[in-house]
Structure 1
């Protein structure tokens, strides 16, 4: 109603001015019969009222639609009345919706092309890295270890780029199945054996309950654990020689915990460590920090419907937990 009155306020004002001006003109012209003038004014307001009531109820749906925000984009295609202005607005919304879909389709095509390019580029880069790594094995120390260290670093960076590019279409890449966490940890440790040796930080597995099994995507959870371990080792180098990987159940949920005894995270940074590209105080000290590791961990965990928790004490270390819900914990099944 308020919108309707605002739209017709000028019409009502003109009618009032006309009702005032007409008797004044008659009076100045010498006509003194006020009864007829008042009757004419009354009839004009009656006709105006009837017109406004008819116009409001004939376009009530239209006005209500304008006042209520759309909850979904598809609501723009719903019919909003049969009045000419309603039909014109409906055609405009349909045209806008069509342009919107075309723009979205073009954006998705560009993103798909970018993803395809990144995927091919990463795989093409891995081939020369493998050749370099094989060549380095024939070199004497310490040259061989130095070259392999750099190739490992480049491989890790390429994997991060690849997983970051795939993040938008991650749900299409999921393969949910039963995963034994202790076996997964062993595979991650084997994959990162040289990384541990190079930084002189070694993992210790504490399994409170053997054979904990969860429902998740093995490839992506492997990536998450690798990212967390790399952070733990990187920030423990030169401070501690051990990180602890723990498996246990808590209130029916399965928990995979990575604990280090390194530099820890300052309190002011702890709420932002999962933000994209945020490196914080430690990132200024450790120049290799990209601010993407924990961001990817959080994003992927949420898509997998796992929870991620982080506790840290400066100068004492950091603990990161991946928590699998009761329905994802298959240990007792």
Structure 2
């Protein structure tokens, strides 16, 4: 505390020493009586000691108030411009910390909701596989279908964690989108066959993007096109300076479309058919934003849905 006090008022004491030295020099040059000099120095020293005691008392109170300025009774002591500047700085830091804590709390709540939903969804294919095993009814196509669902749910969780923790590794390169789409159709071929859904792929699009993340985003859309399609339906994929994926499924309510990409939103179809986690399209939107791609949806009940992806202008 004393060292801080000296640093705070060092210019004041330096000025006093300069004045005292000048005073002594004048007495010496004019050969004034030494008794006058001694009395003058004693008086000035007494005054400086009393002034130091008063200044130190105020300084100590100010320092204590700064260390714990949350007490309202201490605030009147902090009335100097430098004190107010410190208070504003501290308050700004506290506000930034509060905002950061709110962000972390929101992320934690979102993660808990995601894990809860994910664990609930994981039980469905696991229960199906368990039932197949118990009834000795392990058909390869059915097993592959459930394993694909498990793989998709796991990918959703891992990619959600990557995006929320800003640990995603985007690597942009020239990609032929048709190749990505063909690989995804092959991945879902059993589902296409099980529901007797035909698929067509027209055109191509050479795009500078991240192949892995684009594949993930498109997989969510194709998965929905299969999930909510009718038996014997169709999926049409067109590639021409953009991506258009159309299906002949059950369609989406008009009031649900604006919220399709909200986190955790399942809409009427998800609640009615118990197939949605509410995170697939949310992750798709986030990934496409990172890839500088825009997504839009048009749909008509009992007619079908078209999802369009274009470059952000």
Could you tell me the TM-score, scaled by structure 2's length? 0.60
1:192 aligns with 2:188: yes
- The number of residue pairs the alignment matches comes to 219
Matching residue of 2:217: 224
Partner of 2:200: 204
Aligned to 1:92: 87
In terms of mean alpha carbon deviation, does 256-265 or 142-151 score higher? 142-151
Partners of 1:140 and 1:269 in 2: how far apart? 41
Corresponding residue SS for 1:296? helix
Match of 1:173 among 162, 169, 172: 169
Measure the CA separation in 2 of the matches of 1:178 and 1:96: 49
CA contact (8 A) 1:214 1:324 kept: no
Provide the rounded CA distance (Å) in 1 between the counterparts of 2:267 and 2:92: 42
Partner of 1:277: 264
Match for 1:260 among 224, 247, 255? Answer: 247
Relative distance call for 1:85 and 1:304 in structure 2 (3 A) is: farther
User: Which structure would you say has the larger Rg?
Assistant: 2
Write the distance in 1 (CA, Å) between the matches of 2:255 and 2:156.
26
Alignment partner of 1:215 out of 185, 208, 232:
208
One of 145, 148, 151 as aligned partner of 1:149: 145
Quick one: structure 1 residues 304 and 270, their matched pair in 2 at CA, closer, same or farther if it must change by over 3 Å? Answer: same
Q: Write the distance in 1 (CA, Å) between the matches of 2:191 and 2:166.
A: 27
- 2: CA distance, partners of 1:286 / 1:220: 28
Q: Is the 8 A contact 1:262 1:316 kept in 2?
A: yes
* SS of residue paired to 1:166: helix
When normalised by structure 1's length, the TM-score is 0.56
- CA offset at residue 297 of structure 1? 1.5
Alpha-carbon contact 1:171-1:303 (below 8 Å) kept: no
1:283-302 equivalences under 5 Å are 283-302=270-289
Q: CA deviation at 1:276?
A: 1.4
Q: Do the aligned partners of residues 219 and 268 (structure 1) sit closer, same or farther apart at CA in structure 2, a change above 3 Å counting?
A: same
Is it true that 1:235 corresponds to 2:228 in the alignment?
yes
Distance 1:89 1:200, change over 3 A: farther
Deviation, 1:320, is 0.3
What residue in structure 2 maps to residue 182 of structure 1? 178
* C-alpha distance in 2 between matches for 1:203 and 1:93: 63
RMSD across aligned C-alpha pairs, in angstroms? 3.6
Distance in 1, matches of 2:275 and 2:202, equals: 29
- Unmatched runs of 5 consecutive residues or more in structure 1: 1-82, 123-128, 249-253, 327-333
Cα distance in 1 for partners of 2:198, 2:259 equals 28
- The 3 A distance-change label for structure 1 pair 324 and 231 is same
- Could you say if the C-alpha distance between residues 308 and 170 of structure 1 is closer, same or farther in structure 2, counting changes exceeding 3 Å? farther
- 3-state SS in 2 of match to 1:281: helix
State how 1:244-259 maps to structure 2 within 5 Å: 244-248=236-240, 254-259=241-246
